[in-house]
Each structure stands twice: as structure tokens, then as C-alpha cells.
Amino acid sequence: MKFSYYWIWHLLLLLINVVSSRDWLIDKITDVTTLRITPLGTLLLSNTLISREFLLDPDFATIDFRDLHTTNSSLLRCVKPEAIITLDGIKYNIGGIMPNTQCAYFNRTEFWRTKTLDTTAFHFSTYEVGIPKAPFKYTPKRSAPADIQWPPKGIHLSIYFKAPYYAPLAHKYVTVVVNYEMYDGIPLIAKWLDIIDISGRGDIDLSINSVELLAVNQPWSPFGHSWLYIEDDQPPGHGTNVLWTYDVEVNTIPGSFPPLVNCTYQTDHEIVVPLVTQLTSFRVHELVVGSSDEERRALSKHRLIRLLAPHTQENPIFFHMINASSSAVRAVIDQMAEVGFEMLIYSFGSGFDMESDDEKYIEQITSDIAYAHSKGIEVGGYDLIALTRQVRPDWMAIDPSTGKPRDSVCFASGWYDYLLNRTLTFMDRTGLIMVETDGPYGGYSCASTTHAHHRNNDDSVYRQNILQANYFKILRERTVYINQPDYYFYQGGSKTGMGYNEEQYSLPRWMDISVSRQGMFDDTYQRIPTVGWMFVPLTVYHGGGAAAQFEPLVAHQIEYEWALAQYLGAGVAACYRGFRLYDTNETKALVTKWVNFYKKYRSILIRDIIHIRRADMQSIDSYMHINPYSNDIKGLIMVFNPTSEPVDTNLPVPLYYTGLSDIAQVSEQEDSWVFYTLARDYHIDLPIVLPPLGITWFLIR
Ligand SMILES: *[C@@H]1O[C@H](CO)[C@@H](O)[C@H](O)[C@H]1NC(C)=O
Ligand SMILES: *[C@@H]1O[C@H](CO)[C@@H](O)[C@H](O)[C@H]1NC(C)=O
Ligand SMILES: *[C@@H]1O[C@H](CO)[C@@H](O)[C@H](O)[C@H]1NC(C)=O
Ligand SMILES: *[C@@H]1O[C@H](CO)[C@@H](O)[C@H](O)[C@H]1NC(C)=O
Ligand SMILES: *[C@@H]1O[C@H](CO)[C@@H](O)[C@H](O)[C@H]1NC(C)=O
Ligand SMILES: *[C@@H]1O[C@H](CO)[C@@H](O)[C@H](O)[C@H]1NC(C)=O
């Protein structure tokens, strides 16, 4: 059985070309998203890769969700309400129809014959069609790809719902808007809710139970092959959930496989939020991958984040400065300018204080930043803004289980206003244009009833999340670069830790380099290269002493070059953390060499990674960047020999995602172009000759 499934998956991958004779991951899809009324009177939203079909009568409901691209099949198993909310303790479905008689699979004959209005639900009143709205302003900067489209192109559909006749009068002033966006050229839908009380009285208690309820067929769920990737736009663990279960309504039909996804808020207790004028839910992203192939799944998700968080593709080369004294900072800025580094970050432990109102300190920082700007270098700094941060007692979060202050600030207290004011004031005065926040709000609740921005425990998680997001949005609109150890990317965050273990940078240098290259290889399935940072502990980071640190650099040139090559070659910014970038002309030359390489090939180095061979330290290892849309360089391969032996071998390189199909031209380090014929499965065998500890790279067009 296992064997045949394996082949079915691989056949599906090959079938992509058969089903639609084009692949959105390598061909530019020029079809635009359309919305039309079908002969059945339904509404069909389609971008030719996927489609979603809505019933309008007797009520609004999703009645189909199709993959037109990879499997050419329907995902949908059953009709569910569009969403579920609770007003003052009364639960309302939003649209939908009475439950189908059976939901093991979609029986359209039966559906059209029996569909019946659910009289207790909020009812469809009207819809509006527009274009996608940007959740924040963004103009590409810092060498982000030129082809960024913001907001993305596509269709925004707003569907309006009104309370049922039996609802209490107060609820009749409530309108629920279900928002859908479908984007051009990607099998992706976003969905979210606006709940509006036009009475403006603010005395309704609202809970959002489900932003999306989708009954799908088994292969699309994690119980099958996870062909449908669903995420919400919030950082994980902050009170929102994408819950996959088996549908209890259907479990009464023994022997069927009824996966249901429920996109909801926290599960420990319901959020209850006072509805004052308008509340907006989190967004759900539904990406129809249609494949179990690991690389294909990764590339699809990467397209999603590039589309909806385009600023994550900015990738300045930064230095983490541990000494904030004016003379030390200026000395390192001189070095950075010499070798082409782009951003200085006052590191943790440097004594940097973004919240300061000490005039003398602000004057010093302003003048040092002006010096950096005169050399074309941007400057940012570190601040501990939440979690373990201690502030005024009345701004601390109250633990609901003990009634005592937590070890953390509440982000929905006066702290938010204070911090935002300090941040903006400092930036306005000094020219600081980057922040590294430590401890974005981490998803804990607060039982205080006296805080400025939440009522009690029931709305504290919801409110803190919104304010943390708002803090980042305001900075994003000011073009600030934001390092945050969390996942606030759809709210404006630029970068997070790549996924490393904090201890690995305390290992002896060669172990650190090797383990880090392995980890980065794995993490770039989850993340695009530019969204994660790594570390190069020029001075001791957590521990490990002289064996771990790269200082003195002249004594560890080979390791230093490996670090530069493996991170810059991956398009991954690392925190080069210390007090200088080079200590001799030789180490300066190494940094210059790899920074120049990065800048020359930046447009391909910041693109996605195809995983060729994970480092096992037994032979060579390799990864490749691809850009199938490029008219010139479509691939860049990095190859490392971490062994103490010379290597002379053939490396099979899979070229499918470069978009090349017959002939590849390959050049080793800008040497002459060699022609290769692609095999039936799009690979070429690339001869590799490397000395012990050798590194090389190849261009493909
Ligand atoms: C996809 O399936 C539909 C029916 O479900 C069929 O009408 C259509 O021709 C198929 N498309 C392709 C490209 O096979
Ligand atoms: C679909 O429903 C119709 C009408 O109830 C029924 O006759 C038919 O057998 C059903 N088809 C399947 C495949 O269950
Ligand atoms: C969705 O999840 C919420 C939170 O756990 C739960 O209260 C609700 O019953 C779930 N809805 C369905 C239909 O499973
Ligand atoms: C920071 O740099 C200054 C100037 O180079 C130096 O005098 C001072 O000792 C340094 N501080 C530390 C902690 O290294
Ligand atoms: C910060 O607060 C001060 C004092 O209330 C106010 O004058 C100033 O305008 C605020 N600045 C910003 C950027 O919000
Ligand atoms: C380093 O390079 C500079 C400029 O090329 C040169 O003047 C200097 O003598 C060199 N230093 C050493 C120690 O070689």
C-alpha cells in the first residue's frame, strides 16, 4: 500500500503539467481573478488556479471550493455556515443552510433538491466587489524585489449579513461582513470578518466562535495529505487557532472520513469583547497546494508570505554592535562602509536605551546616527518591550489564576501608549530606522479591570494582540525595519530567528558552522531566506569561550569565510555580533569578497531555496536559489566541502523549479558557460571538484 501511495504522489507531481499544461510555480500566470454569476444563479470566484462558489438563495453559503490546477477536484465535503458568532450569549450562524442529510461526501443532486433556509442564522443581504485592500502601506525599499505588487492584485468580495427576525432588537443593528480576497496567479484565498454595530451603544458582548468552518475531503486535511494549507495571520500561540477535527455532525455516519477545519480564537475560554462600532477578526489564509511533495509545499507557502508580507524580502546586511560608545560605534561604521555592510544594530548588552529622554544621550546617538547616514548606513537598536519587562506596577499583567501580577507587562495597558510615544519620539529625534524588539506580546492573558485598553480577562488576549500588531504596523508604515522574535509578519515585522537553538552559537566554531548550515537547510523549508536571521558570534554569545568566538578574526580566517559564505550564499542575514568586522587586511578582504558577491547576486540570492543535499559532513552539501521568472540568471548553486579530503564527484541538481526544461547553461564562478541537457526528470549531473574545506558556486541560465 505504502508503495502505491508513494507513486501516486509522484505521479500527481508529474500530472501537474498534464492537467493544466502550466505550473504556477514556474510559469507566470496572467489570468486575472474574476467574479461571475453562473447559470445556476450562484456566484463564482475564480483565478483559474482555484475557484470558490457561493449559493445566494435561500441564503449565502460556500457550496464549492475547487482545485483547478493540480488535482482538478473539489475540496468541499459539505456546506457549513460562513462563520459563527455569539452576541450577548446567543449563538448565531452567519449564512449557510440547514444541515445536509449526509455529509460523508457532497451529493449535489441531493443538495439542490433539499437545500433549506436556516431561519436562525444571520441572513445574506447584499454583496460588494472591489479590489484587495492593503492592511498597511508599503513601498519596497532596501533592494526588495522590484516586482512586488502591493496591495496584491485580485478581487475583494464583501458579503453583508443581517440578524434574523427573532433576534433581540439590539442585535438588529449588527451587520456582519464576510470578506474574501482571491489573488491573481496564486491558489490562495484570504477570509475574515467585520462585525459592525451601527447603534454605537457599545453594550453588546461579542464572541467570535468561527471565522471559517470548512468541511473538506480527507486528502486536503492533515488526516490525509494536508493538500490544503491553512494558517491565520496571527503569531502562533497568541490565542488564535486553526483546529482540524472530524466533524461531529457526520460521525453519526460510521465509516466516513469527515475532516472539518475550524478557525477560531482561544480554546481555554471564549473571548468576550464589548462591540463598540466595529471589530475585525484575524484573517485566514487558505492555500491550495494539492501536493505532498515537500519542496513544492515549501515553495507554495513561500509565495504566500512573499505576496502578503512583501516587506519580509528586504534583507539588509547588518552588524550587531556590542559597544555603544561613540568612538567604538564610529570605528565600526567606518569598517562597515569600507566592506559594504548596510545596517548597524545596537545589540542587547550594549546599553542602548531607545526609551531614554536624557538630552545628552539623545544628542550623542543623533550625532552617531548622522555619522552612519553620511556613510550610507542605517541604524537600529534593541529594546525589551514585553514578556519579562518590568514597568510601573499598574501596567503589569495580572495572572487570572492567582490574581497576582505576572512577570510580564500588559500590552493593553498604558504601557502601550507610553512605549509607542517613546519609540516614535526617539526615532523622530535621532533618525533611528530599525528596531529589534525583544518579547513582542507573547499571548498571555491579563485579569486587570483597570487597564486602558481592555475590559478584563475575557478580552485581554484579543486586545493585547491587536495593539502589538498595531505597534508594528505604525513602524512598518514609517519604513522601519523590524526584527522580532515572533511571527508578526502580516502586521509588519521583517525578520525573526531562523529556527536555531540558542546554544548552537556557543559550540566550537566548526561545530557551530556545521550544525547551523544543517539547521538553515531544514528551516528554509519553512521560511524564506530573508525572513530568518542566524548568528555569527564574533565575540562570545551565550558561552563557549575562545573555542566558540571568531575573534581574533585573523586567527580563524577559514571559519570566518565559511560563515560569510554559508549565510550570504543562502541569502540569510546573520547577526555578526561583536565590536569590529575585520582585524587585518586579510580578514577585510574576506568580508569584502562575500559582501560583493551578495550584492552582485542579491536579486537571486534572496529568492527561494531548492534543497539539493543536506550537510552530513561525509561529502559535499548544496542548496540552490531559483527564480524561474528571470530572463537571465535562473539559479545559483552553492556547494560546500566540509571534509578534510578533496572531492571529485557528480552532484545531481534538480532544475524543474528554475523553469528550464531542455538545456541549462551553467557557469562555475563566472567562468565559461557549459551546456547541459536536462534528463527526463529535469535534473543535470554537475561535476564538482573541490579541495578540502573548499566552497564554490554556480550560475544557471
Ligand atoms: C476538470 O474537471 C472538470 C469536471 O470536474 C472537467 O469539466 C474539466 O474538463 C477538467 N479539466 C481538465 C483540464 O481536465
Ligand atoms: C445522491 O442523492 C440522490 C438523491 O437523494 C440519490 O438518489 C443518489 O443515490 C445519491 N448519490 C450518491 C452517490 O450518494
Ligand atoms: C470551533 O472552536 C471553538 C473553540 O474551541 C469551539 O467553541 C466551537 O465549538 C468549534 N466549532 C465547531 C463547529 O467545531
Ligand atoms: C567600548 O569602546 C571604547 C572605545 O573604543 C572603549 O574605550 C571601551 O573600553 C569599550 N567598552 C567595552 C565594554 O569594551
Ligand atoms: C509623546 O508625548 C508627548 C507628551 O504627551 C507629546 O507632546 C508628543 O507629541 C508625543 N509624541 C508622539 C510622537 O506621539
Ligand atoms: C593594509 O592595506 C593598506 C591599504 O591597501 C596598506 O596601506 C597597509 O599597509 C596594509 N597593512 C598591512 C599590515 O599590510
pLDDT digits (tens, 9 = 90+) for 209-250: 999 999 999 999 999 999 999 999 999 988 999 999 999 877
Which stretch of 139-143, 252-256, 319-323 has the lowest confidence by average pLDDT?
Answer: 252-256
Which stretch of 252-256, 358-362, 524-528, 648-652 has the lowest confidence by average pLDDT?
Answer: 252-256
Query: Residues with Cβ within 6 A of ligand 1?
Result: 19-20, 72
Measured between alpha carbons, how far is 282 from 146 in angstroms, rounded to an integer?
29
> What pLDDT does 10 receive?
45
Q: Is the peptide bond before 652 cis (omega within 30 degrees of 0)?
A: no
Q: Which contacts qualify for 323-332: CB closer than 8 Å, 24 or more apart?
A: 323/350, 323/579, 324/350, 324/351, 324/352, 326/364, 326/367, 326/368, 328/579, 329/368, 329/372, 330/368, 330/371, 331/580, 332/579, 332/580, 332/581
> What pLDDT does 6 receive?
42
> What pLDDT does 456 receive?
95
- Please name the residue whose Cα sits nearest to atom 13 of ligand 1: 19
**Cβ neighbours of residue 277 under 8 Å, at least 6 residues apart?**
196, 197, 200, 202
Of 101, 103, 107, 114, which is best to mutate to test ligand 2, by the most ligand atoms within 8 angstroms of its C-beta? 107
Measured between alpha carbons, how far is 614 from 112 in angstroms, rounded to an integer?
53
> Is 50 exceeded by the pLDDT of residue 430?
yes
Q: How confident is the model at residue 567 (pLDDT cuts 50, 70, 90)?
A: very high
- Please name the residue whose Cα sits nearest to atom 3 of ligand 2: 110
Q: What percent of the chain has pLDDT over 90?
A: 90
Burial 642-666 (b: 16+ CB within 10 A, else e): beeeebeeebebbbbbbbbeeebeb
Dist. CA 67 → ligand 1 center (Å) = 10
CA-102 nearest atom, ligand 2: 14
> What pLDDT does 14 receive?
46
> Is 50 exceeded by the pLDDT of residue 553?
yes
Of 357, 416, 421, 426, which is best to mutate to test ligand 5, by the most ligand atoms within 8 angstroms of its C-beta? 421
Dist. CA 102 → ligand 2 center (Å) = 10
| Each residue's pLDDT tens digit, 402-418 | 999 999 999 999 999 99
Dihedral sign for Cα 213, 215, 218, 220, please. negative
CA-420 nearest atom, ligand 5: 14
Helix/strand/coil for 13: helix
Measured between alpha carbons, how far is 407 from 384 in angstroms, rounded to an integer?
13
> Is 90 exceeded by the pLDDT of residue 11?
no
Mean of the pLDDT values across residues 81-94? 97
- Please name the residue whose Cα sits nearest to atom 12 of ligand 1: 19
Ligand nearest to the CA of 428: 5
Q: How confident is the model at residue 253 (pLDDT cuts 50, 70, 90)?
A: confident
| Each residue's pLDDT tens digit, 319-363 | 999 999 999 999 999 999 999 999 999 998 889 999 999 999 999
- Please name the residue whose Cα sits nearest to atom 11 of ligand 4: 323
> Is 70 exceeded by the pLDDT of residue 63?
yes
* Grid-cell match 477560531, residue found: 264
- Please name the residue whose Cα sits nearest to atom 4 of ligand 2: 110
Mean of the pLDDT values across residues 249-256? 77
**Cβ neighbours of residue 553 under 8 Å, at least 6 residues apart?**
538, 560, 580, 582, 583, 584, 587
| Each residue's pLDDT tens digit, 668-695 | 999 999 999 999 999 999 999 999 999 9
Query: Which of 3.30.70, 2.70.98, 2.40.50, 1.10.530 would CATH assign to domain 2-134+149-310?
Result: 2.70.98
| Each residue's pLDDT tens digit, 369-406 | 999 999 999 999 999 998 888 899 999 999 999 999 99
Q: How confident is the model at residue 568 (pLDDT cuts 50, 70, 90)?
A: very high
> What pLDDT does 20 receive?
56
> Is 60 exceeded by the pLDDT of residue 543?
yes
Which stretch of 102-106, 116-120, 253-257, 504-508 has the lowest confidence by average pLDDT?
Answer: 253-257
Q: How confident is the model at residue 15 (pLDDT cuts 50, 70, 90)?
A: very low
- Assess whether the C-beta atom of 347 lies below 6 angstroms from ligand 4: no
Residues present in the chain in total:
701
Dist. CA 545 → ligand 5 center (Å) = 45
Whether the Cβ atoms of residue 639 and residue 620 lie closer than 8 Å to each other:
yes
> Is 60 exceeded by the pLDDT of residue 576?
yes
CA-108 nearest atom, ligand 2: 1
Closest CA to 13 of 272, 209, 293: 293
Mean of the pLDDT values across residues 295-300? 98
- Assess whether the C-beta atom of 355 lies below 6 angstroms from ligand 5: no
> Is 60 exceeded by the pLDDT of residue 22?
yes
**Cβ neighbours of residue 478 under 8 Å, at least 6 residues apart?**
427
Whether the Cβ atoms of residue 528 and residue 313 lie closer than 8 Å to each other:
yes
| Each residue's pLDDT tens digit, 607-649 | 999 999 999 999 999 999 999 999 999 999 999 999 999 999 9
Q: How confident is the model at residue 443 (pLDDT cuts 50, 70, 90)?
A: confident
Per domain, the residue ranges of the chain are 2-134+149-310, 501-577, 608-700
Ligand nearest to the CA of 268: 3
Calculate the average pLDDT of the chain: 94
Burial of 563 (0-12, 13-18, 19+ CB in 10 A): buried
> Is 50 exceeded by the pLDDT of residue 3?
no
> Is 60 exceeded by the pLDDT of residue 13?
no
CATH architecture of 608-700: Sandwich (2.60)
